[in-house]
Amino acid sequence: MTDYMHAFDLYVPASLEDAARLLDEHGTNAWIVAGGKDSFDWFKDRHRQPQAVIDISGLEELHGIRDHGGHISIGAATTLTEIEESELLREHFPVLTQAAAQVASPQIRNAGTIGGNVSQDARCTYYRDGFPCYRAGGDACYANTPTAMNREHALFGVSRCVAVTPSDTAPALVALEAEMVISRNGVLQTVPSEAYFVGPDIDITRMTVLKEGDILVAVHIPKTWAGARSYFEKIADRQTWDFALVNIALVAKTEGTQVVAARIACGGVQCTPRRLAEVEDLVQGETVGPDLETLARRVAARGAKALNYNQFKIPLIENLAARAIRSLA
């Protein structure tokens, strides 16, 4: 049940260096918070009770959307509303502003950050309810049993855990070939967005490469796909204020009705944003039309393995892929 939070010590570092030092000092007792949308839910459910909470939301270097010529940088603590309302981003990468605009509610978008949206933990109800599952360090998956409710769970990349990425902005960033800038032991490193997200086969207790001591500092989006055609669609049980069952982000370069190149990623179908690589290959150099849509539909969900209650996601992926291709006509 959701309750008062445990007593913790709050640290408000004045710089990224201070934050890194605090993380080093407190090790596994440390917890980074910015918008707090995921963190405070964990604390209130009492499933996470870190002693040292480090609030990095005030760090100037984590804020703002800037044009650096070859790429646009977004500070990790930039809110989803700021992204949604950014003229610069809308002009260059509308797939991202559309994705940000479809996250949760105005209240959440006004405080929730891009860093938190891409780094939030799995939303599997069994995991969130404190079941001692593999992801929580236990020895079972409660979502993949004959009677488990798993309509929101994974179709691909299952490795003991069947949780999916809940993020709307993550597939958009993967489609855009974004890079994540991470402070690791005080040193900045850049990780391609596809490598930023990790599946249970790599590390079942994490959703991203972030480990103790790491801070996501910024997202860099190269202008490779600036001004390209784009499509974002999110399917959820409600039209708004819900996590995606499946979402899709597409960017494409076209000449007339011919597709020169495209990148497509889906959320909600595996633990990480899933590139629809077969669809990307298939459409390259082809002319948009009903035939291409049919082919895209045919390969979009290839390799999907449904659980008991999530078969419906297979036609969802197929239809979303077809619609994304149709949007290029």
Partner 1 sequence: MAKAHVTTTVNGDAVEFLCDAEQTLLDVLRDELYLTGSKEGCASGDCGACSVIADGRLVCACLMLGVEAEGLAIETIEGMADGDQLHPLQTKFLEHAALQCGVCTPGFLVAAKSLLERNPDPTEIEVRYWLAGNLCRCTGYDKIVRAVLDTAEEMRGG
Q: What residues line the site for partner 1 (CB under 8 A)? A: 2-10, 12, 36-37, 40-41, 43-44, 53, 55, 57, 81, 104-108, 110-111, 238, 240-241
Specify the residue, 55 or 177, whose C-beta has the smaller distance to partner 1.
Answer: 55
Report in angstroms how near the CB of residue 60 gets to partner 1 at its nearest.
15
Specify the residue, 67 or 129, whose C-beta has the smaller distance to partner 1.
Answer: 129
Q: Give the single-character DSSP code of 124.
A: -
Nearest-CA neighbor of 102 among 226, 4, 236? 236
Nearest-CA neighbor of 211 among 16, 27, 18? 27
Token pair 């918070």 in the structure block, residue: 33
Report how far residue 165's alpha carbon sits from residue 16's, in angstroms, rounded to the nearest whole number.
28
Report in angstroms how near the CB of residue 5 gets to partner 1 at its nearest.
4
E strands in the chain: 9-11, 30-33, 52-55, 65-67, 71-75, 179-184, 187-192, 214-222, 229-235, 246-255, 258-267, 274-275
Specify the residue, 3 or 87, whose C-beta has the smaller distance to partner 1.
Answer: 3
Specify the residue, 6 or 305, whose C-beta has the smaller distance to partner 1.
Answer: 6
Report how far residue 261's alpha carbon sits from residue 239's, in angstroms, rounded to the nearest whole number.
30
Report in angstroms how near the CB of residue 28 gets to partner 1 at its nearest.
19
Specify the residue, 9 or 291, whose C-beta has the smaller distance to partner 1.
Answer: 9
Report how far residue 108's alpha carbon sits from residue 79's, in angstroms, rounded to the nearest whole number.
9
Token pair 């855009």 in the structure block, residue: 176
Nearest-CA neighbor of 122 among 4, 265, 272, 237? 272
Specify the residue, 49 or 257, whose C-beta has the smaller distance to partner 1.
Answer: 49
Report how far residue 5's alpha carbon sits from residue 46's, in angstroms, rounded to the nearest whole number.
7
Cα-based distances in Å from 55 to 11, 30, 91: 6, 11, 32
Cα-based distances in Å from 191 to 9, 113, 181, 183, 212: 31, 19, 6, 11, 16
Report in angstroms how near the CB of residue 109 gets to partner 1 at its nearest.
9
Specify the residue, 102 or 169, whose C-beta has the smaller distance to partner 1.
Answer: 102
Report in angstroms how near the CB of residue 310 gets to partner 1 at its nearest.
23
Report in angstroms how near the CB of residue 75 gets to partner 1 at its nearest.
17
Specify the residue, 44 or 90, whose C-beta has the smaller distance to partner 1.
Answer: 44
